[in-house]
Amino acid sequence: MSNKIYDVNLQDGVAVITVDAPPVNTITAAVRSGLEAALDEVEKLSGVKAIVLACKGSTFFSGADIGEFSGPPKEAEYRHLFARLENQNVPVVAALFGTSLGGGYEITLACHYRIANARTRIGFPEVNLGIIPGAGGTQRLPRLIGAEKALEMIVSTKMVDAKTALEYGAIDRIADGDVNAAAVEYARELVAAGKGPRRTSEMNVAPETATPEIFAAAEATAKKLYPNRIAAQTAVKSIRTATEKPLNEGLLVEEKLGNESKLTPESKGAIHVFFAERATRKVTDIPADTKPRAIAKAGIVGAGTMGGGIAICFANAGIPVTVLDTSDEALKRGLGVLEGTYDSMVKRGRLSPEDKAKRMGLIKGTTNYADLSEADVIIEAVFENMELKKKIFAELDKVAKPGCVLATNTSTLDVEKIGAATKRPQDVIGLHFFSPANVMPLLEIVRTPQSSAETIRTSVELAKPLKKTPVLVKICYGFVGNRMMEPYGREAERMVMEGATPREVDTPMEKWGMAMGLLAVYDMAGVDIGINVHKANADQYPIDPTYYQAEVALGEHGRYGQKSGKGFYKYEKGDRKRYDDPEAIAIIRKRASELQIPQVPHTEEEVVERCLYPLINEGFKILEEGIVMRAADIDVVWTSGYGFPRWRGGPMHYAEAIGLKKVLDGMNKYKDRFGPMHWEPSKLLVELATSGKTIAQWEKARG
């Protein structure tokens, strides 16, 4: 193929249009104009009896270009191209493989026949982005597969595999082997059988799939799955249009609803996070030409919860990793847990036994530091203890090869002080994984004043094979995520001390959109973890005798959360549910009375404000201190590591969405009630809220 984005090749009466737009054949403006040009070429050829639409590379069209969402609407361009495909007067066959989402599959609905290889997956993720399928999906899909299945696919956003797609009628055939060759064969068969174009636009939605009951059920599901959000309901409305109007009119309704949905807070929030995640790799203050070092081998010190999870990340990436612990026994235990994680993946059909064996083959255990001498990166994940970590870094300094990145997974300790135990502080950095490390996408990368540009670049790039979202931060207590969690947890616990039940604090936050209420999170992680962190770092917190006292009181009664069957809630064996527990409430009330904390009622609104405003306020302090490069990085930390709803855009985006003045007024309201110790607004929040400047304007002026 030339350097054109497409190629047209006439194979014995079948005109094959092949698009090659790496990495994933996104339907960008260039791809659309390439396809228009390809159709120009095809229309000039003589003897064309059928057309095949195919792609080269790793997947058929993966989807529309989300980069265009913030620009002018592109629906008219899509409509023109798709109508042109659909109106061809010879059969048009789409050859699917890989993963086709949204626009990537909608283009096939404008073709006449669809063939896919067995591993193909299709789906409509739009409502997760606060929008609706806007390239004909809500109009053509119900015509092709019926409204009921179209509603299910679009509202659930779940991908379906080729087998299910065939059952639904979303594809016509599954190909063995090379799907592009099979599509040409299929086109020839159609021609031989005298089959002409089969246009989706000329089909009617099967009435039995579009009854009022079916639509009512879809609406109910949309409301239930997405409380506080409307995109899914808008999609249902748009699909209903397909049952009422001809395609051309329906497409205009879809466009109107689609453009309205792009203006909703949920779409702005989700799309903000989408771009924020893609921007975190940009490091603004190191030379642009800094090259990352190659990472071919890794080492880990500590085969515990985190060390094991991190080892899995490396093995999954195909990078051999050596794990060191103090004794064979500790290694056996740690590697056993690690293997158990793989076993459960095999059991759930998420990993083949062969792949498990391959990955386990990349993981070696050792008790000897010399075995880490070939590693390009070594991550320390031993107990949270400064002296121990310093000792280990001094050991690593002796054995690690020059240029090896020496990283610590500490959650609270000063990475610079740990690095000072070596003679190469330029190679030292924090790589803060979250638990479970093989699942959670967030990776906070903690640079010290000495970390070299190369160490930083290498660490940021390492996130890619490990499938992590990196956020580069500077040293401060708790870094970004845990530091902002601190005032959130303080208020959550304080409110239960003021008489709210744990559920009365957790439920409003879950309704608001948090993946899980914080007190339930504490129970899951272990109430003792919080107690120990607060005890070990008492000097970091304000002197407040009521500070985090609910957990202390629970801990005194052996209530450590799920692992002990009771914490803020109680738990029953074999069941993941949490139950209200009068005993926990009594323990907390007793402590509250000893501390003379007045008992007051709490509205849901107050719960949400008292949890979120101090969290946001801390975010502003982090921004003003220059701990992060961009406010959007804070949003990524919270959406990828702390269950903050993506459609709310992360705490900083959310603050602007509701208005910084509102946040500031909220802070001041509680400052009047509780005093300044915990409620002093950050200077930056005050500055922006009173001047009316946006965060983006402030960032631009700061440079």
Between residues 113 and 638, which has the closer beta carbon with respect to ligand NAD? Answer: 638
Do 322 and 352 meet the contact criterion of CB atoms below 8 Å apart?
no
CB of 636 vs ligand NAD, minimal distance in Å? 17
Q: Among 266, 325, 493, 504, which residue interacts with ligand NAD (rule: CB under 6 A)? A: 325
CB of 392 vs ligand NAD, minimal distance in Å? 6
Q: Which stretch binds ligand NAD (CB under 6 A): 9-17, 142-150, 300-308, 495-503?
A: 300-308
Q: Which stretch binds ligand NAD (CB under 6 A): 31-39, 176-184, 302-310, 442-450?
A: 302-310
Write the DSSP string, 581-598: -HHHHHHHHHHHHHTTPP
Of 160, 114, 105, 113, nearest to 134 (Cα)?
105
Q: Among 292, 304, 403, 499, which residue interacts with ligand NAD (rule: CB under 6 A)? A: 304
Provide the CA 384 distance to its chain's centre, in angstroms: 28
CB of 482 vs ligand NAD, minimal distance in Å? 9
Between residues 188 and 468, which has the closer beta carbon with respect to ligand NAD? Answer: 468
Residue 246, number of CB atoms within 10 A of its CB: 12
Residue nearest to ligand NAD (CB): 304
CB of 520 vs ligand NAD, minimal distance in Å? 16
Give the integer Cα–Cα distance in Å for 500 and 514.
19
Give the integer Cα–Cα distance in Å for 419 and 451.
9
| Six-digit token string for 223 | 């409301």
CB of 529 vs ligand NAD, minimal distance in Å? 7
Give the integer Cα–Cα distance in Å for 146 and 144.
6
Q: Which stretch binds ligand NAD (CB under 6 A): 274-282, 303-311, 679-687, 694-702?
A: 303-311
String marking each residue 340-359 x if it binds ligand NAD according to CB under 6 A = --------------------
Q: Among 9, 259, 326, 691, which residue interacts with ligand NAD (rule: CB under 6 A)? A: 326
Give the integer Cα–Cα distance in Å for 558 and 552.
10
The question of whether 387 is a catalytic residue gets the answer no
Between residues 53 and 324, which has the closer beta carbon with respect to ligand NAD? Answer: 324
523 binds ligand NAD (CB under 6 A): no
Helices (H), 372-431: 386-399, 415-419
| CB contact set of 303 (below 8 Å; sequence gap of 6+) | 311, 323, 324, 325, 330, 331, 333, 334, 335, 338, 365
305 binds ligand NAD (CB under 6 A): yes
DSSP state of 657: H
The question of whether 556 is a catalytic residue gets the answer no
Q: Which of the residues 75, 77, 106, 395 is marked catalytic? A: 106
Amino acid at the residue 417: K
Between residues 263 and 515, which has the closer beta carbon with respect to ligand NAD? Answer: 515
Do 409 and 433 meet the contact criterion of CB atoms below 8 Å apart?
yes
What are the E-state strand segments in 448-514?
469-474
Between residues 305 and 507, which has the closer beta carbon with respect to ligand NAD? Answer: 305
| Six-digit token string for 424 | 């190469």
Interactions with ligand NAD, residue window 368-407 (CB under 6 A) = 381-384, 388, 392
| CB contact set of 348 (below 8 Å; sequence gap of 6+) | none
Between residues 15 and 311, which has the closer beta carbon with respect to ligand NAD? Answer: 311
Between residues 255 and 551, which has the closer beta carbon with respect to ligand NAD? Answer: 551
Of 666, 639, 641, nearest to 652 (Cα)?
639
Give the integer Cα–Cα distance in Å for 642 and 518.
10
CB of 361 vs ligand NAD, minimal distance in Å? 22
Q: Among 107, 154, 303, 637, which residue interacts with ligand NAD (rule: CB under 6 A)? A: 303
Do 459 and 407 meet the contact criterion of CB atoms below 8 Å apart?
yes
Between residues 270 and 442, which has the closer beta carbon with respect to ligand NAD? Answer: 442
CB of 347 vs ligand NAD, minimal distance in Å? 23
Q: Which stretch binds ligand NAD (CB under 6 A): 27-35, 179-187, 255-263, 297-305?
A: 297-305
| CB contact set of 116 (below 8 Å; sequence gap of 6+) | 95, 96, 97, 122, 162, 165, 171, 173, 174, 175, 179
Q: Which of the residues 126, 416, 444, 493 is marked catalytic? A: 126
694 binds ligand NAD (CB under 6 A): no
Residue 56, number of CB atoms within 10 A of its CB: 16
Between residues 409 and 438, which has the closer beta carbon with respect to ligand NAD? Answer: 409
Interactions with ligand NAD, residue window 92-111 (CB under 6 A) = none
Do 141 and 150 meet the contact criterion of CB atoms below 8 Å apart?
yes
CB of 410 vs ligand NAD, minimal distance in Å? 5
Give the integer Cα–Cα distance in Å for 271 and 418.
38
Q: Which stretch binds ligand NAD (CB under 6 A): 274-282, 321-329, 516-524, 692-700?
A: 321-329
295 binds ligand NAD (CB under 6 A): no
324 binds ligand NAD (CB under 6 A): yes
Q: Which stretch binds ligand NAD (CB under 6 A): 219-227, 305-313, 358-366, 688-696?
A: 305-313
CB of 644 vs ligand NAD, minimal distance in Å? 18
301 binds ligand NAD (CB under 6 A): yes
Between residues 164 and 366, which has the closer beta carbon with respect to ligand NAD? Answer: 366
DSSP 3-state of 443: strand
Interactions with ligand NAD, residue window 421-450 (CB under 6 A) = 433-435
Write the DSSP string, 312-345: HHHHHTT--EEEE-SSHHHHHHHHHHHHHHHHHH
307 binds ligand NAD (CB under 6 A): yes
With the C-alpha atoms ordered 62, 65, 67, 70, is the resulting torsion angle positive or negative?
negative
CB of 474 vs ligand NAD, minimal distance in Å? 18
Interactions with ligand NAD, residue window 545-604 (CB under 6 A) = none
Give the integer Cα–Cα distance in Å for 106 and 170.
11
**Which phi and psi angles does 329 have, rounded to 5°?**
-65, -45
Task: Name the pairing type of β-strands 121-123 and 160-161.
Answer: antiparallel
CB of 430 vs ligand NAD, minimal distance in Å? 10
CB of 505 vs ligand NAD, minimal distance in Å? 22
Between residues 417 and 511, which has the closer beta carbon with respect to ligand NAD? Answer: 417
| Six-digit token string for 178 | 């090379």
Q: Among 59, 100, 243, 409, which residue interacts with ligand NAD (rule: CB under 6 A)? A: 409
Amino acid at the residue 100: S
Of 461, 447, 459, nearest to 415 (Cα)?
447
Between residues 256 and 332, which has the closer beta carbon with respect to ligand NAD? Answer: 332
Of 5, 14, 197, 180, nearest to 111 (Cα)?
197
Count the residues of the shown chain that bind ligand NAD, applying the rule CB under 6 A. Answer: 24
Helices (H), 243-304: 247-261, 265-279
Q: Among 37, 214, 252, 330, which residue interacts with ligand NAD (rule: CB under 6 A)? A: 330
- Active site residues per annotation: 106, 126
Residues that bind ligand NAD (CB under 6 A): 301-307, 324-326, 330, 334, 381-384, 388, 392, 409-411, 433-435
